[in-house]
Amino acid sequence: MISKIFITFLLIVPFCFNFQGNEIGSFEYVARGRGVFKQIIMRHDSTFIRDLDTENKILTNSETWVYLKEVVTQKDLEKLNLLESPTEKRFSDQALSAQLVIKTNNSEYISSEFDHGYPPEEIKEIVEKITSSFNSK
């Protein structure tokens, strides 16, 4: 009986610690250029939408939050900073320079820079879901 409890403990405890370390705390999207700044910080309960002049706080849609968390579990966050931008319009001011930041309980994953509106394919659905908040304010 004791051995069954001990084995169960050994199987469950590492899973709990692993889950806690990967718990998503927030998603942050920033797009900037000459005289332009846009930022979205999305947490499980609230989303902050900022630009140079304004800041709005809205409730985070719980379905959106669950969807984003599910999509992120399928990504290798360690390689977020290695993703290549499909376009280079930001180098000639044809597009804002953007980045995605995903924060967990104990880590921060920052993407490489890419053109606003043209994210790398690997994170496209995440960025599009987050930036839809720009249009909904």
The reported pLDDT for the residue numbered 20 is 42
**16 within domain boundaries:** no
pLDDT-above-90 percentage for the chain: 77
**112 within domain boundaries:** yes
Is 44 in a helix, a strand, or coil?
coil
**104 within domain boundaries:** yes
**4 within domain boundaries:** no
Indicate the pTM of the whole model: 0.80
- Interhelix angle for 62-73 vs 124-136, to 10°? 160
**89 within domain boundaries:** yes
Question: What number of other Cβ atoms are within 10 A of residue 59's Cβ?
Answer: 8
Distance CA 135, CA 115 (A): 18
Q: Which domain holds residue 122?
A: 24-136
> What average pLDDT score do residues 16-38 get?
80
Distance CA 70, CA 111 (A): 18
79-119 pLDDT, tens digit each: 999 999 999 999 998 999 999 999 999 999 999 999 999 99
**126 within domain boundaries:** yes
Per the structure, how many domains does the chain have? 1
